[in-house]
Amino acid sequence: MKIAFLGTGLMGTGFVRRMLAQGHEVSVWNRSADKARALEAHGARACASAAEAVRGVDRVHLMVADDAVVDAVLEPIVEAIPSAAWIIDHTTTATTPTAERAARWAARGRRFVHAPVFMGPSNCVEGTGVMLLSGDKALCDAVTPLLEPMTGKVVYLGPQPERAASFKLFGNLTLIGISGVIGDVCRLAAAVGIPPAEAMGLFASFNPGATLPARAAKVAAGPYDQVSFEVAMARKDVRLMVEEAARHGVDLAVMPAVAALQDAAIARGEGALDASAAFRWPLV
């Protein structure tokens, strides 16, 4: 196929290299032209403009910074994109503007889908990882065979075109949140005289990630009266963490916010419920 790829950062570069290895003819464009030109060594055609890159192609792939950049790149080249071409946006974007964008392209009679990914640069080159997809079922069924060679798994999330954007944010929120908690582990470790890298050795034998699906389900839906660890006792543990770090002049960054949610639950009379009750939303 003739493919245009707009946005050749780390992820876009990986995708382009895989497409080229599969025999596709790929035109590339990037706001920093040197990143696009670097792909010429792999067989891509670097273009001076996005409009030049998309002329005569079967598919337009896009992976840029955010919603504003997606629109800034695509809107000026509406007429340059062939009317029958697929427009596939892999950018991590917000839910509401993604819905508005999908509606705008549908009104033009164009085949636009949003397909964000849980992949790193090496996954893009290897065709491994997870790609999310949502929108009209027939449209998504038609494009899925084109996407499958790019990733290890394509997950269809329903007919609303913005759902993939939401689920991508859910996943990134979790990953970034975990990193924030690990930051507090490092702070507490350093406070008590244990090198943070040594503290991370805990996770060689203790895998808290294994409990994530069960914990997530309980926070989202309970039952909160089936108690394995009380809110009040969890709050006590958070107090110990915060106080011990403070003894050594270190402030934890994430756990005070956790403590505030636990305090609110206790104030509601929920101290004896399961610890997950402190984090549920909406409150019932």
| Residue 179 within a domain | yes
- The number of C-alpha atoms within 13 Å of 250 and in the hemisphere containing its C-beta is 19
Q: Identify whether residues 50 and 103 lie together within a single domain.
A: yes
Residue 67 binned pLDDT confidence (cut-offs 50, 70, 90):
very high
Q: Which of 130, 159, 188 lies at the terminal end of a domain, its last residue?
A: 159
178, two tokens: 């975990």
What is the pLDDT at residue 30? 98
Question: Are 198 and 86 in a shared domain?
Answer: no
CATH number at residue 13: 3.40.50.720
- For residues 63, 68, 73, 76, the Cα torsion angle rounded to the nearest 10 degrees is 150
With a cut of 90, say whether residue 132 has pLDDT above it. yes
pLDDT at 162 over 90: yes
Percent over 90 (pLDDT), the chain? 100
Last residue of a domain, one of 159, 194, 219: 159
The boundaries of the domain holding residue 177 are 167-279
pLDDT of residue 234: 98
What span, in angstroms and rounded, lies between the C-alpha atoms of 278 and 227?
13
Q: Are residues 75 and 172 in the same domain?
A: no
Indicate if the pLDDT at residue 216 is higher than 90: yes
- Domain-embedded: residue 284: no
**pLDDT given at position 203:** 97
Same domain, 187 and 107: no
The pTM (predicted TM-score) of the whole model is 0.96
Looking at the predicted structure, is the pLDDT value of residue 149 above 80?
yes
Predicted pLDDT of residue 284: 75
Residue 275 belongs to a domain? yes
Residue 154's pLDDT band, with cuts at 50, 70 and 90, is: very high
Same domain membership, residue 232 and residue 110: no
pLDDT at 155: 98
Q: Is residue 137, in this structure, part of any structural domain at all?
A: yes
Q: Are residues 149 and 171 in the same domain?
A: no
Q: Last residue of some domain: 124, 159, 194?
A: 159
Report residue 134 CA to chain centroid gap.
Answer: 15
**Residue of 52, 17, 60, 56 lying closest to 35 (CA atoms):** 17
- Alpha-carbon distances of 276 from 134, 161, 212, 257, 267, rounded to whole Å: 30, 31, 12, 15, 15
- 227 and 143 part of one domain: no
Regarding whether 18 and 146 lie in a shared domain, the answer is yes
Mean pLDDT of 216-245: 98
Mean pLDDT over 136-149 rounds to 98
DSSP state letters, 150-214 = GSSEEEE--SSTTHHHHHHHHHHHHHHHHHHHHHHHHHHHHHTT--HHHHGGGGGT--GGGGHHH
**Whether 131 and 238 share a structural domain:** no
CB 191 within 8 A of CB 244: yes
Tens-digit pLDDT profile for residues 231-280: 999 999 999 999 999 999 999 999 999 999 999 999 999 999 999 999 99
Residue 186: give its domain's CATH number. Answer: 1.10.1040.10
Residue in the block written with tokens 């009104």: 107
- The answer to whether 91 and 65 are in contact (CB under 8 A) is yes
Tokens 């009209």 — which residue?
136
pLDDT in tens, 165-212: 999 999 999 999 999 999 999 999 999 999 999 999 999 999 999 999
Q: Are residues 176 and 155 in the same domain?
A: no
* Residue 131 banded pLDDT, cuts 50, 70, 90: very high
Total number of domains constituting the chain: 2
Identify whether residues 228 and 254 lie together within a single domain: yes
Based on the fold, state whether residues 206 and 121 are members of the same structural domain.
no
Average pLDDT, stretch 21-37? Answer: 97
Residues 6+ apart with CB under 8 A from 246: none
DSSP state letter for 228: S
Question: Do the beta carbons of residue 27 and residue 53 sit within 8 Å?
Answer: yes
pLDDT value, residue 70: 98
At 41 the pLDDT is 97
In a domain, 87, yes or no: yes
Checking DSSP bridges between strand 130-133 and strand 153-156, what pairing results, if any? Answer: parallel
Mean pLDDT of the chain: 98
Give the strands of the sheet with 59-62, arranged side by side: 45-46, 25-29, 2-6, 59-62, 86-89, 111-114
- The H or E element containing residue 28 is strand 25-29
With cut-offs at 50, 70 and 90, classify the pLDDT of residue 66. very high
220-232 per-residue burial string, b: 16 or more CB within 10 A, e: under 16: eeeebeeeeebbb
Q: How far is Cα 77 from Cα 98, in angstroms, rounded to an integer?
A: 18
How far is 137 from 249, CA to CA, in rounded Å?
Answer: 56
Given this model, what pLDDT does residue 35 score?
97
Cα–Cα distance measured from residue 226 to residue 204, given in angstroms and rounded to the nearest whole number: 30
